[in-house]
């Protein structure tokens, strides 16, 4: 279906930060835009806020004054809902309340022409439920923007049970014409992003609760090894713990208390204490002019005169790490084996989901030190290491020294299943695979949503493929065995692909 012509008028109901942002996007795309809010003066304030934002771009030479004037000239604050009656697309961006949204949609149905598309920007309410009382629910579609709407590329085009495919396709094409990256999703709790992203927060929170290490160190590992923009604790402080905890609780309850979505007691405590993050001045980190952010735990320099590495077997995804060590001047001797690296007293191996202590006992390798996954070992500036309880101090020192020779900072963490990046990525891939299996979205759209909506370095299913067929399934199986919890059960599609020895993009 073609996109809506720019001659089509667009209305946005709700002039808060999100509604104003959507109005700006539509106006910049060339549409005349009605901006309405029931609060007196809110629509005018929304337009003025847009003008201030764009003026900064003009002042920096990133936008021409005439372009700013044209955009603002296309945004029309209107005092009455009746004034949006001739709009061809109406997007509601009001409070997240089912009944209030239903009342608004009923009014819009009466006001607007029969062929007008009604869209909801809801992030958590079922589009099916919103349309249940409409006379023509086929004209209702989710058009979920991400904040700030002018900057974030993703738009989730959400189809309820009754949503017309023609309507969804038109909105998808229109979002593309507006410079966005739209994805299709069915109306299930959390849609794509708010569902699939839950493990990103949950695994760091779980590791903190288990005292694997502190928040600053976990965040540093997520950023510097995983190449995520922010760690889970930085991000939840930014979002607000009241908001993030509420979303997690909503998804948890919507899926009938599935343990995969279990909320964190640590985050609950923060909310109850009023430590909501940046907006309250205290979350996991303190904020304010005099606040000092805690620094991650980094191992001091470890000395080793060793210069020879013995690489036993295929290093798999960690192959770039060996190349990096070779470039640092170390000699590598390759021989057959189980995929381990021997250096001095240490035997290093990529985590497979088991604890180092368990694996050392099973494999008869006392001085085992596990290293974590990295998005790109050739660029990672930090890696997490977890030594087995059986490992000697000399072995741990050798393992640290080896990575430090390659210019990699080392964070020693307590021995926990899957370490940090590996278990986080495995759980993200697990949730994404389950969403794909249930038809929430296609594999490609799920990966696109996570990259465009949350700036992930790769989509979780693409990342799973890069680790190799069956790898994530093996990791999750081992983690589930360690915890004996249904939370870590591998998705059926991961299991099937593992036995078929194929990836999601095969």
- Phi and psi at 292, nearest 5°, equal -115, 120
Strand ranges inside 374-498, DSSP E:
382-387, 409-412
Mean pLDDT of 126-130: 97
- What are the tens digits of pLDDT across the range 412-452? 999 999 999 999 999 999 999 999 999 999 999 999 999 99
pLDDT at position 293, please?
87
3 state SS for 245-285: HHHHHHHHHHCCCCHHHCCCHHHHHHHHHCCCEHHHCECCC
pLDDT at position 280, please?
96
pLDDT at position 46, please?
97
- Phi and psi at 346, nearest 5°, equal -95, 145
Position 110 pLDDT exceeds 90: yes
Domains of the chain with CATH codes: 10-187 (3.40.50.720), 194-212+214-293+418-505 (1.10.1040.50), 308-412 (3.30.750.190)
Mean pLDDT of 51-74: 96
pLDDT at position 62, please?
94
Strand ranges inside 21-103, DSSP E:
33-36, 75-78, 89-92
pLDDT at position 124, please?
87
* Token pair in block for residue 175: 């979002």
- The pLDDT confidence band at residue 289, using thresholds 50, 70 and 90, is confident
Mutual angle of helices 241-254 and 198-209, in 10-degree steps? 110
Position 454 pLDDT exceeds 90: yes
* Token pair in block for residue 201: 């927060």
Asked whether 375 and 458 are in contact (CB, 8 A), the reply is yes
* pTM greater than the 0.85 cutoff: yes
């Amino acid at each position: 279906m073609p996109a809506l012509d720019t001659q089509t008028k667009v209305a946005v109901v709700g002039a808060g930060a999100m509604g104003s942002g959507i109005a700006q996007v539509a106006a910049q795309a060339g549409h005349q835009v009605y901006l309405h809010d029931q609060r007196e003066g809110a629509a005018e304030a929304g337009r003025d806020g847009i003008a201030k934002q764009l003026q900064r771009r003009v002042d920096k030479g990133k936008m021409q004054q005439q372009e700013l004037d044209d955009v603002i000239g296309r945004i029309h604050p209107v005092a009455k809902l009746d004034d949006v009656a001739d709009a061809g697309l109406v997007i509601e961006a009001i409070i997240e309340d089912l009944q209030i949204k239903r009342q608004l949609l009923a009014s819009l149905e009466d006001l607007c022409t029969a062929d007008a598309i009604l869209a909801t920007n809801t992030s958590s309410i079922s589009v099916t439920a919103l349309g249940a009382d409409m006379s023509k629910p086929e004209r209702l579609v989710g058009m979920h923007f991400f904040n700030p709407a002018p900057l974030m590329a993703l738009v989730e085009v959400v189809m309820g049970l009754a949503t017309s495919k023609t309507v969804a396709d038109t909105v998808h094409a229109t979002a593309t014409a507006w410079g966005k990256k739209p994805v299709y999703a069915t109306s299930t709790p959390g849609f794509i992003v708010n569902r699939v992203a839950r493990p990103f927060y949950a695994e760091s929170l779980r590791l903190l609760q288990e005292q694997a290490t502190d928040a600053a160190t976990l965040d540093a590992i997520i950023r510097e090894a995983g190449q995520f923009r922010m760690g889970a604790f930085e991000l939840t402080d930014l979002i607000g713990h009241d908001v993030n905890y509420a979303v997690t609780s909503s998804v948890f309850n919507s899926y009938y208390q599935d343990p995969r979505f279990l909320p964190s007691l640590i985050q609950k405590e923060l909310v109850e204490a009023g430590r909501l993050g940046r907006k309250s001045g205290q979350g996991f980190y303190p904020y304010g002019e005099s606040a000092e952010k805690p620094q991650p735990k980094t191992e001091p320099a470890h000395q080793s005169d060793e210069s020879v590495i013995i690489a036993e077997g295929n290093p798999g995804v960690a192959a770039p790490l060996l190349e990096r060590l070779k470039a640092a001047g170390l000699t590598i001797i390759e021989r057959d084996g189980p995929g381990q690296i021997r250096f001095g007293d240490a035997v290093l191996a990529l985590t497979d989901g088991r604890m180092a202590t368990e694996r050392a006992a099973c494999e008869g390798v006392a001085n085992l030190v596990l290293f974590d996954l990295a998005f790109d070992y050739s660029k990672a500036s930090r890696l997490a290491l977890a030594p087995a309880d059986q490992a000697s101090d000399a072995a741990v020192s050798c393992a640290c020294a080896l990575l430090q020779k390659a210019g990699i900072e080392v964070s020693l963490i307590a021995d926990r299943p899957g370490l940090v990046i590996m278990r986080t990525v495995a759980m993200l891939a697990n949730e994404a695979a389950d969403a794909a299996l249930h038809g929430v979205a296609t594999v490609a759209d799920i990966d696109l949503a996570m990259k465009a909506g949350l700036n992930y370095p790769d989509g979780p299913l693409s990342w799973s493929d890069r680790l190799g067929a069956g790898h994530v399934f093996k990791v999750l199986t081992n983690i589930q065995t360690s915890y004996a919890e249904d939370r870590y059960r591998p998705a059926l599609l991961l299991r099937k692909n593992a036995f078929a020895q194929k990836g999601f993009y095969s």
